[in-house]
């Protein structure tokens, strides 16, 4: 009976999870309905329903000290964000949902409309003190979700494949903790647009996000670490990113008479291989570097020689000299290919994101806050910077701070990379993130006047 009940829940979650215990929440907002199902060896052994908020030690433990009520609210919220993804600079419904949460918490905010940041202001006990900033991203990615979860994207071609829905829920969770127990000074809650494309951090800064901010912190979910681990690293955390678009102009013609044409497809094949040698043959292997061509557009029919081909790609570098060498190397190779194949080839570079560099004092604060939440053993470092990129670097160009990573995978899960259509998180990470943000604010406020004096 329990089984059939659970199967018919509109908001249900798959019971085929190997978890020993699965729980369900009613969406949205109103009185929580909890259904707890115990599963042993893949067989359902019991189900119970509680229409009120249960006070249960096991659940509290799962929520890293967050109250069950707040934890379940964050789960519902994060699932709503996940289900309603919006692309860069189009975050209209997302912003409205954040605003609703800030209003519920009676937090003042600024919002200049679609494409802008939602900026919340928590006053704190002494509003004359410098401000500590916390940042989450609002945008999703293009692509169709394949997770198969009940809360999968309802917006075709859009998905929160980078976990930004979790980041927003964590920040709202922190806001609630900060409202319940005022921090020593003010806190700025920055929900920025367009992290994935277009550098929405700059928009947020132009919107006034960093006014009087003494230090800023942000985190990102990842499967590189399991839930309950937080990665903090000094110095370079993410790589410099640049984009490029190469346009090859040949001469179109009949597929049967190549001698009358200049084949843009053949030239693009030559360039795809040649550009890889910039990394494999021309770059010191001790400086991590990536050149990826992620998009090719050419041709219109199987028997027509393409007149034009466009190759678009991304460059990641961890060293400024290497970056210059790669950029100049692409120019050198396209002009050689043009000469070689009697074509016209041009390249345009797009402004990328600078590297995220954690200030040592900011990283120390993040480390201290993290160890209070997950214990020192679970605060880990990383041997290398990530070759991913992050526009949080724009904030760190103005104020010191740190960017951390929240483990968001159950230990037994096979890791799924960010941006994969199958990416999802272990929701217990929401509790870790909310508590970390709350704690990092209190730790940073305690340090103003010491490490951050005069910055
Ligand atoms: Zn991303
Ligand atoms: Zn991201």
Q: Which ligand is nearest to the CA of 241?
A: 1
Q: How far apart are CA 1 and CA 447, in angstroms?
A: 57
CA of 162 to the centre of ligand 1 (A): 5
CA of 161 to the centre of ligand 2 (A): 8
Contact by Cβ (8 Å): 357, 238: no
pLDDT for 318 equals 85
pLDDT for 384 equals 86
User: Within 10 A of 322 (CB to CB), how many other CB atoms are there?
Assistant: 21
pLDDT tens, position by position, 323-336: 999 999 999 999 99
pLDDT tens, position by position, 196-253: 998 999 999 999 999 999 999 999 999 999 999 999 999 999 999 999 999 999 999 9
How big is the chain, counted in residues? 455
Percentage of the chain lying above the pLDDT 90 cut = 80
Tell whether omega for the bond before 5 is within 30 degrees of 0, i.e. cis: no
Domains along the chain? Answer: 2-54 (no CATH), 68-239+355-447 (3.40.630.10), 240-350 (3.30.70.360)
CA of 336 to the centre of ligand 2 (A): 37
CA of 163 to the centre of ligand 2 (A): 6
Long-range pairs of 204-210 with CB within 8 A, sequence gap ≥ 24? 204/116, 204/117, 204/119, 204/135, 204/395, 205/394, 205/395, 205/398, 207/110, 207/112, 207/116, 207/117, 207/119, 208/110, 208/119, 209/117, 209/119, 209/133, 209/135, 209/395, 210/133, 210/395, 210/398, 210/399
CA of 134 to the centre of ligand 2 (A): 15
pLDDT for 450 equals 55
Whether the predicted pLDDT of 11 surpasses 50: no
Contact by Cβ (8 Å): 419, 163: no
Q: State the alpha helices, DSSP H only, in 258-319.
A: 264-280
| Mean of the per-residue pLDDT values of the chain | 88
CA of 262 to the centre of ligand 2 (A): 41
Q: Which ligand is nearest to the CA of 135?
A: 2
Q: Which of 197, 137, 131 is nearest to 169 (CA)?
A: 137
φ, ψ of residue 208 to 5 degrees: the values are 100, 15
CA angle 92, 93, 94 (to 5 degrees): 90
pLDDT for 153 equals 98
pLDDT tens, position by position, 44-60: 545 554 444 444 444 44
CA of 365 to the centre of ligand 2 (A): 22
pLDDT for 452 equals 55
pLDDT tens, position by position, 393-423: 999 999 999 999 999 999 999 999 999 999 9
First to last CA, the chain: 63
CA of 419 to the centre of ligand 1 (A): 6
User: Within 10 A of 292 (CB to CB), how many other CB atoms are there?
Assistant: 14
CA of 362 to the centre of ligand 2 (A): 20
Task: Report the pLDDT averaged over residues 59-82.
Answer: 86
CA of 266 to the centre of ligand 2 (A): 35
Q: Which of 37-46, 294-303, 384-393, 441-450 has the lowest mean pLDDT?
A: 37-46
Contact by Cβ (8 Å): 432, 64: yes
CA of 279 to the centre of ligand 2 (A): 25
pLDDT for 195 equals 97
Q: Which of 19-28, 63-72, 298-307, 316-325 has the lowest mean pLDDT?
A: 19-28
pLDDT for 62 equals 55
CA of 117 to the centre of ligand 2 (A): 16
Structure-block tokens of residue 91: 């975050």
CA of 360 to the centre of ligand 2 (A): 23
């Amino acid at each position: 009976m329990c089984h059939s009940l659970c199967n018919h829940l509109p908001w249900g979650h798959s019971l085929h999870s190997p978890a020993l215990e699965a729980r369900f929440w009613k969406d949205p907002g109103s009185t929580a309905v909890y259904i707890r199902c115990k599963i042993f060896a893949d067989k359902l052994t019991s189900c119970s329903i509680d229409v009120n908020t249960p006070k249960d030690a096991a659940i509290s433990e799962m929520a890293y000290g967050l109250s069950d009520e707040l934890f379940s609210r964050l789960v519902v919220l994060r699932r709503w964000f996940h289900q309603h993804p919006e692309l860069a600079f189009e975050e209209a419904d997302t912003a409205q949902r954040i605003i609703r949460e800030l209003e519920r918490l009676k937090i003042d905010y600024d919002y200049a409309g679609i494409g802008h940041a939602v900026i919340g202001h928590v006053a704190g006990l002494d509003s004359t003190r410098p401000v500590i900033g916390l940042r989450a991203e609002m945008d999703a990615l293009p692509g169709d979700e394949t997770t198969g979860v009940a809360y999968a994207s309802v917006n075709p071609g859009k998905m929160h494949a980078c976990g930004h829905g979790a980041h927003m829920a964590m920040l709202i969770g922190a806001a609630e903790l900060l409202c319940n127990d005022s921090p020593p000074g003010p806190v700025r809650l920055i929900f920025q647009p367009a992290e994935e494309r277009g550098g929405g951090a700059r928009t947020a800064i132009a919107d006034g996000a960093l006014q009087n901010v003494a230090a800023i912190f942000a985190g990102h979910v990842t499967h590189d670490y399991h839930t309950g681990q937080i990665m903090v690293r000094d110095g370079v955390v993410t790589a410099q990113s640049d984009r490029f678009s190469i346009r090859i102009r040949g001469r179109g013609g009949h597929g049967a008479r190549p001698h009358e044409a200049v084949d843009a497809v053949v030239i693009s094949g030559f360039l795809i291989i040649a550009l890889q040698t910039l990394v494999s043959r021309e770059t010191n292997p001790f400086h991590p570097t990536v050149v990826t061509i992620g998009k090719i557009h050419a041709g219109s029919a199987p028997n027509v020689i393409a007149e034009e081909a466009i190759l678009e790609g991304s460059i990641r570098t961890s060293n400024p000299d290497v970056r210059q060498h790669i950029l100049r190397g692409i120019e050198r190779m396209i002009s050689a290919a043009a000469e070689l194949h009697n074509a016209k080839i041009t390249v345009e570079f797009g402004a990328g994101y600078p590297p995220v560099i954690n200030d040592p004092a900011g990283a120390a604060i993040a480390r201290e806050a993290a160890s209070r939440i997950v214990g020192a053993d679970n605060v880990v470092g990383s041997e290398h910077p990530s070759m991913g990129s992050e526009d949080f670097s724009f904030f760190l160009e103005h104020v010191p701070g740190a960017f951390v990573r929240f483990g968001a995978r159950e230990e037994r899960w096979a890791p799924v990379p960010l941006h994969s259509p199958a990416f999802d998180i272990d929701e217990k990470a929401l509790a870790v993130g909310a508590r970390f943000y709350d704690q990092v604010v209190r730790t940073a406020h305690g340090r103003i006047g010491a490490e951050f004096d005069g910055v």
